[in-house]
Copies of this chain bind each other. A is one copy, B any other.
């Protein structure tokens, strides 16, 4: 009882320090791009007894998460409101914009979300985990905010030195255009989409048989889809598909390809196309995407003796969702949005494993100086000195012993990485000075 549940975990100081460092890097990138912070509650209303201003039919709203709705944690009805734990930060952001009638906003949000998922803790998959989201809401000229989201992913993954990566990009409109020209009825776009999404985990043959078997697509349609979704490339591929006799006739696909071309222009100006791959197999699970979608994956290092770089998992993803805010607005007022979510838990797992392997010890405190005494009966002097240091804003500690041995005090510095010891002995007290000792070099100065 009162111990962490399955798929949750404690963070010991070393882990908390690592996470702090990681989150700081991400947040400082978000701030560099001019984002403001907002916070929304973890407890969300599932419904109100007897209705209320936001008591729309539960299915409509929970439905934003598609098949994942079953993964939402619900609270017991202990008398009062029906509550759930937030599943992500995107839907609450859309709700926030609608409720407050906000038309423009660039915001970040770093907070915990909850999913009744099957935890795979070694791969950084937990039931309680952080999400780090950056979103741009507003009606703007095409692809400028979208390009910035990709730039952000590029900056963060480069900063963190996680090794080589690629950012796969696609567009829901292109995918839907592909389905349409391959003869898939519109009612099957979403199931077809979620099947295509599995192409990074299983070979085309299996994906194809799921399409035909489970999703009820015709074998011919599936074959035609296969010809498209196995394509990936850059500007050249976009140009080729813009000339594709079938695809170029589809309005949605043409729009999507035109915007994709514009996106690549902007990414060229940002100098990051080297890490971008236009990949028609990228589908992303969530229903609410309406335009560009993307996902960053780390590549296995070459020095790991693998012939071809292999993807070792998604570490960031996002896309455009122009319809979500309108679903929360009583008048259906639309606010186009594009955003990115950094997969902080997987990155944390990688950094944690790397730190363990290196044997490096992360400092868990920031203490600059230990106040120490070489003789007995000097507790009062230590308390007076440390109080002065704290009041001067200096990070200081002392041992909570009346008469600790000097050796123990210096040992504590070495164990915890405190660089300096401020020593007051009888002589120093008489002279009105303090001896400052550099713990590593053992050099001492009186001051």
- CB <8 Å contact, B41 and A9: yes
Interface readout for A366-394 with B: 1 if CB under 8 Å, 0 if not? 11000000000001100110010011011
Contact digits for A35-63, partner B, Cβ 8 Å, 1 yes 0 no: 11111111111110000011110101110
Q: Which of A26-34, A229-237, A432-440 contacts B (4 or more CB under 8 A)?
A: A26-34
- Please choose the segment from A134-142, A210-218, A289-297, A298-306 that sits at the chain B interface, where 4 or more of its residues have CB less than 8 A away: A134-142
Q: Tell me if A81 is interfacial: C-beta within 8 Å of chain B.
A: yes
Task: For A158, give the chain B residue with the smallest CB separation.
Answer: B391
Contact status B2-A91, CB under 8 Å: yes
- Chain B, Cβ-Cβ closest to A364: B36
CB of A61 within 8 A of CB of B12, answer no
Chain B: CB-nearest residue to A44: B2
**Nearest B-chain residue to A92, judged by Cβ:** B2
A1-38: CB near B (< 8 Å → 1, else 0) gives 11111101111110111011000000000011111111
Nearest CB of B to A266, in Å:
6
For residue A76, CB closer than 8 A to chain B, the reply is yes
Inter-chain contact B32/A394, CB cutoff 8 Å:
yes
Q: Does A395 have its Cβ within 8 Å of any Cβ on chain B? A: yes
Q: Does A185 contact B (CB under 8 A)?
A: no
Judge whether A271 is part of the interface by a CB distance below 8 angstroms: yes
Question: Contact at A44–B4, with CB atoms within 8 Å?
Answer: yes
Taking a contact as CB atoms under 8 Å apart, the answer to whether B99 and A3 are in contact is yes
Closest to A46 in B: B1
- How many Å from the CB of A426 to the closest CB on chain B? 17
**Distance between Cα atoms of A380 and B262 in the complex (Å):** 11
Contact B141 A383 (CB under 8 A): no
Q: Is the CB of A114 within 8 A of B35?
A: no
Distance A56 CA – B3 CA, assembled complex (angstroms): 11
Interface of A toward B, CB cutoff 8 Å: 1-6, 8-13, 15-17, 19-20, 31-47, 53-56, 58, 60-62, 73-76, 78, 80-81, 83, 85, 91-92, 95-96, 99-100, 105-107, 112, 114, 116, 127-128, 136, 138, 140-141, 144-145, 147, 151, 155, 266, 269-271, 328, 364-367, 379-380, 383-384, 387, 390-391, 393-397, 400-402
17 contacts between A and B (CB under 8 A): A2-B54, A5-B44, A10-B100, A13-B107, A33-B390, A33-B395, A34-B397, A43-B114, A43-B127, A73-B83, A75-B75, A76-B76, A106-B397, A145-B400, A147-B383, A151-B387, A270-B383
Top 8 A-B pairs ranked by shortest CB distance?
A140-B400, A13-B36, A8-B41, A34-B397, A11-B39, A36-B364, A16-B37, A269-B383
